Structure 1
Amino acid sequence: MDEEDLETLGEKLYSRIHLEHRETAGKLTGMLLELPGPVLSQMLQDEAMLTAAVEKALRALQLAREPSRISRKDEDDVSVSSDSLGEQLFELVDVYNTGHSQKITGMLLEQHKEAVLNLLSDPKLLEEQVNLALGTLKERNEETDVSDSSDADDPDKLGEKLFSLVEELVPLRANDVTGMLLEMDPASVQQLLSDHAMLEVAVQKAQAALEAGH
């Protein structure tokens, strides 16, 4: 998106936001303009989406303005629990509409509490970290480029799919057999899901091993 388009979008957004948030309209518009162009165009057509985005940006601004709410004296206090930090961080990360807010928040929360507090009070630093985390996530997705990468990342879903197939073959031992097959790496499990003959062989082996163990 070139500068001119961005400027036009910015003016339209500003005039819409200014109606309700005169004092902070400039800042809020600036924050929203960091979102991708297509998202901004959609916002201008979708009142509810715009309102939601403005509310998120407002909360982010309030948090940035009020680091006193998570003041240093509370540093060792339980009041700045990881949960509340996580919630505040999620709100801020979600403003960027990356589609991976949950994962990125989790990644950022792996840092020391002090570093997380800095992110809450420094929007620029947060933006850098979100972009870095997004880059890492994209790299991970490319590495695990299996037929359905979202399932490959989610052992529960893999387990459910595998169980339903195993249950058709060995209804009485489905739990045990599925448990054994899930000890394989996710890529191999994916293969079993897409190759029925291979799955049958694996199930027979697992069943034999179970019987031998009893």
Structure 2
Amino acid sequence: MDEAEDLETLGEKLYSLIYPKHKEKAGKLTGMLLELPRPVLGLMLQDKASLSAAVEKALGALQRAQEPRVPCKEEDEVSASSDSVGEQLFELVDVFNTGHSQKITGMLLEQHKDAVLHLLSDPHLLEEQVTFALKTLQEQNMEETEISDWSDAEDAERLGEKIFSLVEGLDPLHAHDITGMLLEMEPAALLQLLSNHTLLQAAVQKAQAALHPRNQTLST
């Protein structure tokens, strides 16, 4: 079974489960749920509670998106419309079950209001931006975790050992001196050296030049 057939099968199973309670909107609700990751869809097919919760979220988002925009009085227009857009966007984002609905909604609301309104009416664009925002949050969390991993003395010592083992392969004679110079850098910069050999070589060459300003060190 290829990917298209697999998605079609999932759609048919979801539709058959949704149809009895939501006959008129079963097609739209199924389409919205099919935007979710495959593992989530598989869970919903096995767990009626998960499916019911997802359907309620999708139904609420669908209803909000279809509500006509009624002009407010001038004094309430800005705050009311902003709150309404934010609530509608949150409901749509929450359907994706990312676990970061509030943060992602906040990120998307930083865009121009017209762009945000466009997201409410374009499910595919919304999915792209939710995916990108989630990826950004995950990368930020990874960076914070990596930096925090080296926050105490014991981890700093392990970092020094890792740096030393790499420097020793480039300049065994001066590995201790060069490592000491490199360890004066920020933890985030040191982590980059560990993952990027080109940056490490450049840093070692600078340290070599500082140690022996009159000698031209051999490149590795």
**TM-score after normalising by structure 1:** 0.61
In structure 2, do the counterparts of structure 1 residues 106 and 75 end up closer, same or farther at CA, with 3 Å as the change threshold?
Answer: farther
- Computed over aligned residues only, the root mean square deviation of the Cα atoms, in angstroms, reads 3.0
In the other structure, the counterpart of 1:120 is: 120
In the other structure, the counterpart of 1:90 is: 90
1:68 alignment partner, SS class: coil
Aligned counterparts of 2:57 and 2:133: Cα–Cα separation in 1: 20
In the other structure, the counterpart of 1:56 is: 57
For 2:91, give the aligned amino acid: E
| Deviation string, structure 1 residues 137-173 (Cα, Å, up to 9, x no partner) | 2333343342xxxxxxxxxxxxxxxxxxxxxxxxxxx
Q: Runs of 4 or more off by more than 4 Å in structure 1?
A: 71-76, 193-197
| Fraction of identical pairs, as percent | 69
For 2:152, give the aligned amino acid: L
2:28 alignment partner, SS class: helix
Aligned counterparts of 1:109 and 1:194: Cα–Cα separation in 2: 41
**Structure 2 unaligned runs (5+)?**
158-220
Q: Is the 8 A contact 1:64 1:123 kept in 2?
A: no
1:168-207 map, 5 Å = 187=147, 191-192=151-152
Q: Is the 8 A contact 1:43 1:50 kept in 2?
A: yes
| Deviation string, structure 1 residues 121-148 (Cα, Å, up to 9, x no partner) | 33233222212212322333343342xx
1:80 corresponds to 2:40:
no
1:142-181 map, 5 Å = 142-146=142-146
In structure 2, do the counterparts of structure 1 residues 193 and 56 end up closer, same or farther at CA, with 3 Å as the change threshold?
Answer: farther
Q: Is the 8 A contact 2:44 2:50 kept in 1?
A: yes
Rg larger in structure? 2
1:78 alignment partner, SS class: helix
In the other structure, the counterpart of 2:189 is: none
Alpha-carbon offset, residue 32 of structure 1: 0.6
> Could you say which structure has the greater relative contact order, defined with CA pairs below 8 angstroms and 6 or more residues apart?
1
For 1:80, give the aligned amino acid: A
Q: Is the 8 A contact 1:74 1:80 kept in 2?
A: no
In the other structure, the counterpart of 2:32 is: 31
Which moves more between the two structures, 19-28 or 127-136?
127-136
Provide the aligned length of Structure 1 versus Structure 2.
156
1:44 corresponds to 2:4:
no
1:107 corresponds to 2:107:
yes
In structure 2, do the counterparts of structure 1 residues 64 and 192 end up closer, same or farther at CA, with 3 Å as the change threshold?
Answer: same
In the other structure, the counterpart of 2:19 is: 18
Alpha-carbon offset, residue 190 of structure 1: 5.8
Aligned counterparts of 2:133 and 2:75: Cα–Cα separation in 1: 25
For 1:119, give the aligned amino acid: L
| Deviation string, structure 1 residues 20-55 (Cα, Å, up to 9, x no partner) | 111111111111111111111111121111111011
